Homo-oligomer: A and B are copies of this chain.
């Protein structure tokens, strides 16, 4: 990471932390944050250093599915994920250390970080969002910063863009903001409870992706001739999804979320070279859901930058859907 980028990221963290930087740690701390699934996708950065998005996005947090993180001061950084000690040179450990650089009291200070995901990493639910949100909450506890969720959201965004949506339960919108340093780019909760809503995770392929999501996003923004149409898609879909959430209108929510995910993948498919995240099994699964829906079952799908499907349905369809798709893992966002 070059010096200018580091300086800008550190300044963005300073804008949140202010005087709190001088507070001493309290020993150790532990915190949890939920994973989230975007119903209107985050796809494209206007600033890669600060994870500032081109557009807004809207997600639902996944209740008790997420990441639990413990942290304590140490001589040097170490990262344990789901019991495994991660090589400090591995991308996941470097990304955590680069984030800890933002809050480190001195360059000599390290942190021992241990995380456990309650949804297996291979289950196709991104762990970076819940991971960085839980890390910020744990740091807040360790130092007693007492940040509010909006402040923690700005900080978590510097670790992973979508992490800024994992500071709340339920529906969360990421307000893209206009500030060049990202002070106003953060999550904002939507005050709607929808206890019957379910998100089903259907894992079709747990092999590493051929194109990482950050790379696919970058390549799409830079080379896809269809990307210029994406911001207007999001603007329109956000309005519809907000209305669908407010009215707890599953048909509308599912239809727009599915269309938004397909439009996101379409922009990536048209990148040059193409960023095609689908496996043959993904296409078969999409056709299966379309057929189930044609047969009267109220179920829709979304896909993130990977081959797996996430299904959107209500509790009443859960049993029938699990009979059709035994591999489905059903999650309850509202407990």
Chain B residues, CB < 8 A from A229: 225-229
Chain B residues, CB < 8 A from A281: 280
* Inter-subunit contact B265/A269 (CB<8 Å): yes
Of the candidates A225, A274, A281, A287, the one having the most CB atoms from chain B within 10 angstroms of its own CB is A225
Interface size class of A (residues with CB under 8 A): 20 to 34
Number of copies of this kind of chain in the complex: 2
* Inter-subunit contact A283/B282 (CB<8 Å): yes
CB of A215 to closest CB in B, whole Å: 16
CB of A263 to closest CB in B, whole Å: 4
* Inter-subunit contact A263/B270 (CB<8 Å): yes
Query: Which residues, 202 to 261 on A, are CB-close (under 8 Å) to B?
Result: 225-230, 232-233, 236, 255, 258-259
A225-B233, A226-B229 given as contacts; is B259 within 8 A of A266 (CB)?
no
29 contacts between A and B (CB under 8 A): A225-B229, A225-B233, A225-B236, A226-B229, A226-B230, A226-B233, A226-B263, A226-B266, A227-B229, A228-B229, A228-B232, A233-B270, A259-B270, A259-B272, A259-B273, A259-B274, A262-B274, A263-B270, A265-B269, A266-B266, A266-B267, A266-B269, A269-B269, A276-B283, A276-B286, A278-B283, A280-B280, A280-B281, A280-B284
